[in-house]
Amino acid sequence: MAGVKFRYYDPQKIVAGKPMREWLPFALAWWHALAAAGTDMFGGDTADKSFGAETGTMAHARAKADAGFALMEKLGIEYYCFHDRDLAPEASELAETNARLDEISDYILEKSKKTGIKALWGTANMFSHARYMNGAGSSNSADVFARAAASVKKALELTVKLGGRGYVFWGGREGYDTLWNTNTRFETENIALLMKAAVAYGRKIGFTGDFYIEPKPKEPTKHQYDFDAATTILFLKQYGLDKDFKLNIEANHATLAGHTFRHELRVAADHGMLGSIDANTGDTLLGWDTDEFPYSVYDATECMYEVIKAGGLTGGFNFDAKNRRPSYTPEDRETAFRMSMDTFALGLIKAAALIEDGRIDAFTRDRYASYNDGIGAKIRAGATLEELEAYTLAQGEPQLPSSGKQEELLDIVNEVLFG
Ligand code: XLS
Ligand code: NI
Ligand code: NI
């Protein structure tokens, strides 16, 4: 039972035919909420995330789990997302690293059984360690590729064990800094091979959820292969991965790619591949992944409009977000989650109201009315260039298309949002 008072989020409240909690499976990101402590390029930690234990130890790994579950219970958050590295510190040998992961996942599983809180998705961190300087699947070193595959295998096992709905590939360093030393086709094929092997193993051990790719155009590498939704979908189709994979769209990655968050959601949904969302926001004045807690009701409304139209997510809303460096107290952390959960709840309410209002949907539908019959219907059925030329010769020059009425529609959006 949530011990926090929300202004808009009410898990049981029915909106657009479903309880809010079903539209909004919120998740805590282990790495931000329980690890990131404020270090940036210019200074160290401002927050204390030791949780009373010495960092880098298994005692600390358990203390993080305790703190994470307490926070999720308080907020009524039912899911969390993790990298293998977030759960337990890496040892010098793989066997010992895996033993630590077994130990901590047993501990987390116990907590999960008591609370009902499960993994939304898991992933392997294949970007922090020096061995991944040239990527994982895209590494020039076959040994590093093999080492990455071993991590994916273990992270998949953990995801299944912890009840994860999905498994994410965020291609951390799957990119390049200069084409003078890079065989892009070779690297792309190898990334696909790693993913194919992951699908084969996942299905073998009973993982029935979706695999996700989380597109991001740059950072840490200058150019990343999973640039945006459209690029990623092409890759998945090219290598026959599109039946097992969907996309995990992150708001801040969309803006880094020069798109809006909504654009990326729409592209993914148009292909039936909108799977999950990393709910954060960037700052349009800053060119990097600032991972801020989202507060824009406009953005949340646009997001939820796309999500409702897509029929919901198979994944959820992972707050891949961290407090600003000067907001370093435990209370700030709780406020950040509450504020962003309310933002999405309000976005859901407003998006449902826009759909219920119906004026915008009706306008967009009618905007294409010229295709309902006559020459438009013939075009939709696949008219030839000869037929269309003959039509135009007989008909004369077309009239201007009908007005797009953008300002009128924006006025409707404001009216529905603010009355
Ligand atoms: C980094 C990514 C990362 C993924 C998980 O920019 O957002 O946090 O979500 O590896
Ligand atoms: Ni992310
Ligand atoms: Ni990110």
Print pLDDT tens along the chain (419 aa).
458 999 999 999 999 999 999 999 999 999 999 999 999 999 999 999 999 999 999 999 999 999 999 999 999 999 999 999 999 999 999 999 999 999 999 999 999 999 999 999 999 999 999 999 999 999 999 999 999 999 999 999 999 999 999 999 999 999 999 999 999 999 999 999 999 999 999 999 999 999 999 999 999 999 999 999 999 999 999 999 999 999 999 999 999 999 999 999 999 999 999 999 999 999 989 999 999 999 999 999 999 999 999 999 999 999 999 999 999 999 999 999 999 999 999 999 999 999 999 999 999 999 999 999 999 999 999 999 999 999 999 999 999 999 999 999 999 999 999 99
Instruction: For residue 189, count other CB atoms closer than 10 A to its CB.
Output: 14
Q: Pull the structure tokens for residue 322.
A: 């961290």
Protein residue with its CA nearest to atom 3 in ligand 1: 170
Determine the residue of 86, 278, 318, 322 to mutate for testing ligand 1's pocket, defined as the one with the most ligand atoms within 8 A of the Cβ atom.
278
End-to-end CA distance of the chain: 33
DSSP 52: T
Q: Which residue's CA lies nearest to atom 10 of ligand 1?
A: 170
Q: What is the pTM of this model?
A: 0.97
How far out from the chain centre does Cα 410 lie? 27
Q: Is 129 an active-site residue?
A: no
* Spans of all domains in the chain: 14-357, 375-418
User: How confident is the model at residue 250, as a pLDDT?
Assistant: 98
Q: Is-contact 145 137, C-beta < 8 A?
A: yes
128 CA → ligand 1 middle, Å: 12
Name the active-site residue from 84, 86, 278, 291.
86
Cα of 207 to ligand 2 centre, how many Å? 22
Angle, CA of 39, 25 and 319, to the nearest 5°: 15
Instruction: Name the residue among 301, 408, 310 with its Cα closest to residue 352.
Output: 301
The pLDDT value given to residue 2: 59
pLDDT of residue 253: 98
Write down the pLDDT at residue 3.
Answer: 80
CA separation (Å) from 136 to 44, 127, 184, 215? Answer: 28, 8, 14, 16
Ligand 1, CB within 6 Å, residue ranges: 83, 123, 168, 170, 214, 216, 250, 278, 289, 320
Catalytic residue among 60, 83, 253, 263: 83
Q: DSSP string covering 139-152, please?
A: -S-HHHHHHHHHHH
Q: Please answer whether residues 256 and 285 qualify as being in contact, where contact means their C-beta atoms are separated by less than 8 angstroms.
A: no
C-beta of residue 209 within 8 angstroms of C-beta of residue 316: no
Tell me the CA distances in angstroms from 382 to 88, 191, 375, one per residue in order. Answer: 57, 37, 11
Return the residue matching tokens 């003959």.
390
Collapsing DSSP to helix, strand or coil, 175 comes out as strand
Is 83 a catalytic site residue?
Answer: yes
Q: Are 29 and 81 in contact (CB under 8 A)?
A: yes
Q: 250 alpha carbon to ligand 3 midpoint, in Å?
A: 7
Residue 125 CA to its chain's centroid (Å) = 16
- What's the CATH code, domain 14-357? 3.20.20.150
Residues 6+ positions from 270 with CB-CB distance below 8 Å: none
